[in-house]
Amino acid sequence: MLVNVCGCKLQLIQGDITEQHVDAIVNAANSQLAGGSGVDGAIHAAGGPGIMNDTAARYPEGCPTGSAVASSAGNLSAKFVFHAVGPIWRGGKEGEPALLQTAYRKCLQLAVQHDCKTIAFPAISAGAYGYPLDLAANVAVKTVTDFQKWHKKPPEVRFVLFTEGTYGAFARSLEIQMEVQ
């Protein structure tokens, strides 16, 4: 699914984010930047140890929840990996929506700052961190479309969704948000 947001592209695809050829690949990391399972494990496995060496040297204190930091991309076909730390879902009353929004927004700001034309996001927090999928999709899609409308950048944002269910949730969310414009 591909839509135009104020002259920028927003695309949803089902696939593996480590196979994307983009300027920046976003990782769903933890605040220690310690690596883990899910997309984090896949990115470090495909990208090689250079990514962990770089993050450990540059961010020894990790990254707070709701933010993101940039590293090199090792063997991945990208210039950068942005390590975004989404919130752990604790019922929705602990500021989770705002933290998820700022995690996405920080990545978009890093993309602009590093002059990235293309950036690929996974569904941050929607796996091990337990954020309900439909709610996570709404925050993700709204944050990206609002940013593209306001800044007219990045020129291409791709959500790379690993499963059919995740893709479906993002597609529904995008359809609804394009209608209410």
Q: Note whether 104 and 84 are within 8 A (CB).
A: yes
**Is residue 51 involved in binding ligand AR6 (CB under 6 A)?**
no
Q: Which of 16, 23, 40, 134 is catalytic?
A: 40
Listed in sequence order, the residues at least 6 apart from 140 whose beta carbon sits closer than 8 Å to its beta carbon are 100, 104, 121, 123, 124, 159, 170, 173
Which region, judged by CB under 6 A, interacts with ligand AR6, from 36-44, 93-101, 105-113, 143-151? Answer: 36-44
Q: By CB under 6 A, name the one of 1, 13, 42, 112 that touches ligand AR6.
A: 42
* 40 has catalytic annotation: yes
The reply on whether position 68 binds ligand AR6 by CB under 6 A is: no
* Buried b / exposed e along 34-46 (16+ C-beta atoms within 10 A): ebbebbbebbbeb
Contacts of ligand AR6 in 102-121 (CB under 6 A)? none
Residues with catalytic function: 40
List of residues contacting ligand AR6 (CB under 6 A):
16-18, 28-30, 36-40, 42, 86, 122-129, 160, 162-163, 166
